[in-house]
Amino acid sequence: MKLVSCLRGKVLDIAIDIRKDSPTFLQWHSEILSQENLVAMLIPEGFAHGFQALENDSELIYLHSEKYNNLAEGGIRYNDPKLNLHWPLDVIEVSNRDRDHPLITDKFLGI
């Protein structure tokens, strides 16, 4: 589980349900997090998480319920057509790692 807050700037934060057999499987929810609105987002286990910085020099803080485990790393491509994510700004800078995630196929049944 993660609790995400924005310490500086502004971001769009997205959580995607990837829980196997969930009634909201592959649905997503987003919130604007900023130093002004003081909104935090709780992301339950079984949800993927991503964000887009909406202002330069934005800073997030994550509180995790578990220690980092690189074997649990995974990812979803930011522009996967199965999700139809709505990013408010054009996506112009993406890490190679995030750009290379495979697209979701019908074989993906969740975690």
| pLDDT tens per residue across span 49-74 | 999 999 999 999 999 999 988 888 88
How far is residue 69's CA from residue 82's CA, in Å, rounded to a whole number?
Answer: 27
- Do the domain assignments include residue 110? no
- Do the domain assignments include residue 20? yes
- Do the domain assignments include residue 12? yes
pLDDT < 50 stretches in the chain: none
- Do the domain assignments include residue 29? yes
- Do the domain assignments include residue 13? yes
Q: For residue 19, give the CATH number of its domain.
A: 2.60.120.10
- The pLDDT of residue 22 is 98
Q: Cβ(1)–Cβ(44) under 8 Å? A: yes
The number of distinct structural domains making up the chain is 1
Q: Cβ(36)–Cβ(64) under 8 Å? A: no
- Which amino acid appears at position 94 of this protein? V
- Do the domain assignments include residue 106? no
What is the domain range of residue 12? 2-99
Average pLDDT along the chain? 95
- Do the domain assignments include residue 10? yes
